[in-house]
Amino acid sequence: MQSRRTRKTQNLEILASKVDLNGREVLINGYNARMKHPQRSRPDQPTVTFLGATQSVSGSMHLLEVGPYRFLLDCGLHRGPRDEARALNARFPFDPASIDAIFLSHAHMDHCGNIPNLVRQGFSGTIYCTHATRDLIEVMLQDSARIQERESEFRGYSRTSSSPLYRMDHVYEAIEYCHGVDYDETVVVNPSVNIRFIDSGHILGSAIVYISIRQADRNYSITFSGDLGRQGVPYLSQPSSLPAADLIICESTYGGKTHESLIGMAEKMSALVTKTVARGGKVLIPAFSLGRTQLVLHYLRVWMASGVLPRLPIYVDSPLAQEIDLVHKKYHADLEPEVTEIPCEWLMSEDDAWYRSTHRDPCILVASGGMCEGGRITQHLKYHIDDPRSTIVLVSYQSPNSLGAQLLTPVPKVFFHGQTWNKWIEVAEVNGFSGHADKNDIDTLLRDAVDSTQQVRLVHGEIPQMTALTAQLQQMGFASVKAPHRNESVVLGAEALKSR
């Protein structure tokens, strides 16, 4: 099948000259400089409209308009109650064909998961991301398409609300549009816009996106944090400081919290595992397949090798994490040499998983589904939710409506998989495994930008976290800090003009 992009490439070879923002004729090399919308009204200054992850943590997506050009910062999936999420994901509040390019921060689904739907609805621009992000989204989006097609079959194609958001073909086409770049490489997107990806230390390939803009003889800059990592996480780089800019768009997932220390985490896990083994139970750890699973496995093996934890079999039930593991090995061939003596076994089939879950010997089972909303963990929970000998350790952020949040609530029963269950399993939370910066990390990462930044807009956080971080940043000296609502816009340079 010939993709839209391939067809357009052929057309562009014929139509190889356009006019830039200053009216000069420019030769176009590829897609990037083309003006798709010469008739659209042109705002005098660059404008960002916040379309997702506003006062919430999912569906990261922001629209940047520079004259006639339109760019998306991320294009993620919304999570939440099914019908509500479906409505937010299905339709875009702009014409997808009008988007010139996507600047993608990283490969988590709440940042990239709706790209194939954008493709399905007409997008055929360039997706700029790091090389590792490109490899990871290939795995992640294929998995997402498979899940959607399966769920759709289960619910019945006849209802429009049950049709998948996208299919595998749209994923293949999206991957074809990806343009992988190196960290710290300046990429000329078009005559008005340059971008640079800076390591954010959150997951493999994750990046802060720094955007330089030239419009109407003025220079502007935007720093989009994507998701920021923690200091000192193994086999990831330290998150970089955020460059000062006219506008910093900053995540705030843990903007008001401090993570547990590594020593605290080790002590807590040691106590939980030791008493679970003494009871003859199993330790279940639900973990997102990308990022969290790799980190949890690393620490479990380090702690077993050093005697902090008893040596137990570790089983991993996550086919997706296994594929991601291969991408990790491609970029970090020397990964974890110190812990290879502690094996972990990938469970290859549902029969394997059933056998290991129901076998009576104690073990640690790491399974996909960080909030217990789906993934392999739900199957293991069915076997162990009413077993007081076992323990479930939650290591991820739990959104308010998730099954994980229900488990943490002190109630005797929980509802999932169509029925009510006795909650007799021990439930514990260890939040230090987070891949996100906490309030202290954010303080460190933004400190250098205080003096030369005009505006900060907080995204990707619940309201209490944003409120706490707003106060913290104002105290640090940032003049304009706000948490925008969905569809709210900010005009670059407007604050500076006001204060003149």
For Zn ion, the closer of residues 106 and 282 by Cβ is 106
- Residues binding Zn ion: what is the number (CB under 5 A)? 2
- Residue 78, interface with Zn ion (CB under 5 A)? no
For Zn ion, the closer of residues 108 and 282 by Cβ is 108
For Zn ion, the closer of residues 100 and 227 by Cβ is 227
- Amino acid letter, 209: V
How far apart are the C-alpha atoms of 170 and 148, rounded to whole Å?
13
From candidates 138, 227, 246, 441, binder to Zn ion by CB under 5 A = 227
We find the least distance from the C-beta atom of residue 40 to Zn ion, in angstroms, to be: 32
For Zn ion, the closer of residues 111 and 457 by Cβ is 111
For Zn ion, the closer of residues 173 and 227 by Cβ is 227
We find the least distance from the C-beta atom of residue 203 to Zn ion, in angstroms, to be: 6
Residues 157-176 that bind Zn ion (CB under 5 A): none
We find the least distance from the C-beta atom of residue 57 to Zn ion, in angstroms, to be: 9
Span interacting with Zn ion, options 3-11, 105-113, 208-216, 357-365, rule CB under 5 A: 105-113
For Zn ion, the closer of residues 227 and 441 by Cβ is 227
Residues 13-72 that bind Zn ion (CB under 5 A): none
Give me the half-sphere count of Cα atoms (radius 13 Å) on the Cβ side of residue 81. Answer: 2
Span interacting with Zn ion, options 34-42, 108-116, 177-185, 249-257, rule CB under 5 A: 108-116
Residues 293-352 that bind Zn ion (CB under 5 A): none
For Zn ion, the closer of residues 200 and 378 by Cβ is 200
We find the least distance from the C-beta atom of residue 472 to Zn ion, in angstroms, to be: 21
Span interacting with Zn ion, options 37-45, 221-229, 297-305, 309-317, rule CB under 5 A: 221-229
Do residues 367 and 377 touch, judged by C-beta distance below 8 A? yes
The C-alpha torsion from 319 through 85 and 230 to 308, rounded to 10°, is: -50
CA 395 vs CA 111, 269, 296, 413: distances in Å: 20, 11, 8, 21
φ, ψ of residue 87 in degrees (nearest 5): -65, -40
How far apart are the C-alpha atoms of 496 and 220, rounded to whole Å?
11
For Zn ion, the closer of residues 108 and 457 by Cβ is 108
We find the least distance from the C-beta atom of residue 111 to Zn ion, in angstroms, to be: 6
- E strands, 21-96, are 25-27, 47-52, 61-66, 69-73
Sign of the C-alpha dihedral, residues 148, 149, 155, 160? Answer: positive
- Amino acid letter, 145: A
- The residues pairing with 222 across neighbouring beta strands, listed in sequence order, are 211, 247
In our burial notation (b when 16+ CB lie closer than 10 A, e otherwise), range 172-194 reads: bbbbebbbebebeeebebbbbbb
- E strands, 191-313, are 193-199, 207-215, 218-224, 247-251, 283-287
Do residues 249 and 226 touch, judged by C-beta distance below 8 A? no
| DSSP notation for 145-165 | HHHHHHHHHHH-TTSGGGS-S
From candidates 62, 108, 356, 376, binder to Zn ion by CB under 5 A = 108
Span interacting with Zn ion, options 72-80, 91-99, 120-128, 219-227, rule CB under 5 A: 219-227
For Zn ion, the closer of residues 108 and 376 by Cβ is 108
We find the least distance from the C-beta atom of residue 397 to Zn ion, in angstroms, to be: 10
We find the least distance from the C-beta atom of residue 199 to Zn ion, in angstroms, to be: 14
Interface residues toward Zn ion, by CB under 5 A: 108, 227
